[in-house]
Structure 1
């Protein structure tokens, strides 16, 4: 087994008290916990995100857009599985109605953009896939697992007056002024195996005990990331605890006990 190194990232909107099993270093507001991917799976990055305030309103480009801009293949699509949420917590994704690039830019400039976005109330188990070009923001009081293309390109459109740069010209070049309607959005039931994403960039499955024949066929024997939410997963006989992330060389190296729950992720391209 290869347990991935953990990197805790301070953010102005983070928390100084994290849910178990994570512990924030004294005096630090941790917003993200990153699991540094190995070279063999560096197309994907897994994070936990913890918020006490709203994140910036932002957007990410696609692979095609970064290639066209001469940046190489650095697009970013991501997905979120909510693992905890305060009462009234929300995620802002897309807009209430179609909006032009001109009006979006004006709203980002004067701060009214968040009022034009759709804010979805969330609870543990809610799942959202965020395609490139989707304007989005994570609200306060949310803990979630994010699985994303391994890219750090983010264009901030609005940041509530925080002293960080915005990227309006770049953001307007990729942002879609439309309501969010991705069909992969769902609520993941407490029990049962669920295919959350099956391409085109990566696959993601919530396991609940030993994998089905269908899941085993999807993942095959290529390397994958194991993201346990409970005890009971192991790679090559070594336990992978909840709150960690590990690499398995293939499904033959990965074992799941009955009732164990978590995620497995694998890049497709």
Structure 2
């Protein structure tokens, strides 16, 4: 049965106060993430909004095979980001500026010089980044983004700017790619038509533009970014996420812009 997913709001040291509409929160809370509680039959995907005022840790996630080999479960963590808002100069770090040995990256993580190895990519609204498992990455300040990921929280931190949190260098060395970020993993939404943003990964991400009426769509998560969508008589506005069960009817408004995520 299709339904609106429950929202969970998380404070983070790198979050922001006074986040803007369509979200409404206590202006004194430093919100870092708003995410939606997964439910069957789409419990293998997790959708989050992120709001940043500081750099997030430099980190890496394992693929399915690495997670299984390391005894961490059956799935790793593949993710993607759609940039919704960005202050001037805002950027995300993806990949390294050259190919390195594991020993060199480990030493750089310990002494902090890994920041000099990272490649920071300017981020603008409409930019879309696929972050395959193994990609060394970080998110910079001044960003609002939508993240879609496999529903695990297997994160190995390599560097955290002096914050008193645990690092996971041994595990990170086992699954990281010590190389540049491939250019084909970055794109920019056209903005004038529906399009597939990600395919051939652990999940598929599609951008819907304008009015649609769909029935029989395979189980999916639908996230309205503008306008609204309707599941039967229930209206789902921007800032929410709905789980669409196979066979149920989905309609979108004339001015709608929505993301549809489905497991492959």
Name the TM-score class by shorter chain. Answer: over 0.9
Structure 1 residues not aligned, in runs of 5+: none
TM-score w.r.t. the length of structure 2 is: 0.95
From 227, 237, 243, the counterpart of 1:231:
227
Moved more, 188-197 or 245-254: 245-254
Once residues 25 and 155 of structure 2 are traced to their aligned partners in structure 1, the CA distance between those partners, rounded to angstroms, is 25
Q: 1:27-66 alignment to 2 at 5 Å?
A: 27-66=28-67
Contact 1:90/1:138 (CA < 8 Å) preserved in 2? yes
Is 1:243 paired with 2:239?
yes
The aligned counterpart of 2:259 is: 263
The aligned counterpart of 2:80 is: 79
Contact 1:231/1:240 (CA < 8 Å) preserved in 2? no
Cα displacement (A) at 1:220? 5.7
Moved more, 228-237 or 99-108: 228-237
Cα displacement (A) at 1:45? 0.1
Corresponding residue SS for 2:162 = coil
Corresponding residue SS for 1:250 = coil
Corresponding residue SS for 1:165 = coil
Cα displacement (A) at 1:259? 2.8
Contact 2:131/2:185 (CA < 8 Å) preserved in 1? no
Corresponding residue SS for 2:222 = strand
Corresponding residue SS for 2:208 = strand
Is 1:15 paired with 2:11?
no
Once residues 24 and 210 of structure 2 are traced to their aligned partners in structure 1, the CA distance between those partners, rounded to angstroms, is 28
TM-score w.r.t. the length of structure 1 is: 0.93
Q: 1:40-189 alignment to 2 at 5 Å?
A: 40-181=41-182, 183-189=184-190
Moved more, 150-159 or 176-185: 176-185
Contact 1:129/1:182 (CA < 8 Å) preserved in 2? no
Contact 1:184/1:196 (CA < 8 Å) preserved in 2? no
Structure 2 residues not aligned, in runs of 5+: none
Cα deviations across residues 76-109 of structure 1 (Å, max 9, x unaligned)?
A: 0000000000000000000111111111011111
The aligned counterpart of 2:250 is: 254
Distance 1:74 1:25, change over 3 A: farther
Once residues 220 and 76 of structure 1 are traced to their aligned partners in structure 2, the CA distance between those partners, rounded to angstroms, is 28
Moved more, 249-258 or 232-241: 249-258
Once residues 140 and 97 of structure 1 are traced to their aligned partners in structure 2, the CA distance between those partners, rounded to angstroms, is 24
Once residues 147 and 105 of structure 2 are traced to their aligned partners in structure 1, the CA distance between those partners, rounded to angstroms, is 26
Aligned residues: 263
Once residues 250 and 124 of structure 1 are traced to their aligned partners in structure 2, the CA distance between those partners, rounded to angstroms, is 31
Corresponding residue SS for 1:152 = coil
Q: Which has the higher strand share?
A: 2
Contact 2:18/2:27 (CA < 8 Å) preserved in 1? no
